[in-house]
Amino acid sequence: MIVLLPLAAVVARSTDGGLDGFWRAVSSREAVAALRLTLIVSVAVVAINAVMGTLIAWVLVRDEFPGKRVVSAVIDLPFALPTIVAGVTLLALYGPKSPLGVNIAFTRVGVALALLFVTLPFVVRAVQPVLLALDREMEEAASSLGASPLTTFRRIVLPNLRPAIVAGASLAFARALGEFGSVVLISGNVPFKTEVAAVFIYAQIGNDNVTGAAAVSVVLLALSLLLLASVSRLGKRRHDE
């Protein structure tokens, strides 16, 4: 009642003007630009956080240093901090009044930064437990067989982490596709330049173009469902092994 009915309403509304109307709404230049920007920035952001997230998980599991527990708690900050506050804080440091002399407000870099912030924990939290449970003897076996540390990481550790990295990255990607709160202030909502899909939908609701909003929403929904399905497939496969 709370979840399915409203989503069904979105799908129904998107095809109010027939499939034709749906297609026209989705293929409007502004909608296409917003969707394309969303996809491109999301892919880039997820790629960066897949690498950084794996690295951070590695440091948290295999390294020892004072204050490690605090760092581990800080990872969850993006989950705990309201997204709008994330946007405000990033603008305070990297915006027009930046003490560092940079200004990422109203730029695509700014949008990417906001998405990096909110998607950071996903890969870290997916990889951490797997790394913790990883059989250290596999790495010792590899090194006794003559593998260098880099080869051991590439051939032994990485293949075992890959399902977790992919799962975390998929969740991060789903989150990035729909992200609104942290982006809305930074992007400045400049159509064709910094307007991402969620901001576009928000603007269309404000302009009473509900069908257009619903059509783009359906595209986002479909992408998210696809990701969700693939993640749960992945999870099941790992379970079977």
Per-residue tokens: 44: 């880039």
Rounded Cα distance, 235 and 217, in Å: 27
Helix (H, G, I), strand (E, B) or coil at 102: coil
| Among 85, 102, 132, 190, interactor with other proteins by CB under 8 A | 85
Q: How far is CA 25 from the centre of its chain?
A: 25
- Residue 146 Cβ, how far from other proteins at the closest point, in Å? 5
Between 25 and 91, name the residue whose CB sits nearer to other proteins: 91
- Residue 194 or residue 217: which is nearer to other proteins going by CB? 217
CA distance 7 to 214: 10
CB of 163 to other proteins, least distance (A): 10
For residues 179 and 183, give the distance between their C-alpha atoms in angstroms, rounded to a whole number.
7
Query: Taking CB under 8 A as the criterion, which residues in 116-175 touch other proteins?
Result: 116-117, 120, 135, 137-138, 140-148, 151, 155-156, 159-160, 171, 174-175
Q: Is 120 exposed, middle or buried (0-12, 13-18, 19+ CB in 10 A)?
A: buried
Site for other proteins in 197-226 (CB under 8 A): 197-199, 201-202, 205, 210, 213-214, 217, 220-221, 224-225
Q: Which residue has the tokens 């034709």?
A: 20
Q: Quick one: DSSP state of residue 157?
A: I
How many beta carbons lie within 10 A of that of residue 28, not counting itself? Answer: 17
Q: Indicate which single residue of 55, 102, 132, 190 sits in contact with other proteins (rule: CB under 8 A).
A: 55
Site string for other proteins, 23-42 (x = CB under 8 A): --------------------
CB 160 within 8 A of CB 54: no
Q: Nearer Cβ to other proteins, position 23 or 82?
A: 82
- H or E stretch including 40? helix 29-62
Q: How far is the CB of 76 from other proteins (least distance, A)?
A: 6
Q: Report if residue 19 touches other proteins, rule: CB under 8 A.
A: no
Which CB sits closer to other proteins, 32 or 74? 74
Nearer to other proteins, 91 or 165 (CB): 91
Q: Which is nearer to other proteins, 13 or 24 (CB)?
A: 13
Count other C-beta atoms under 10 Å from residue 76's C-beta.
13
**Per-residue x/- mask for other proteins, residues 95 to 114, rule CB under 8 A?**
----x-------------x-
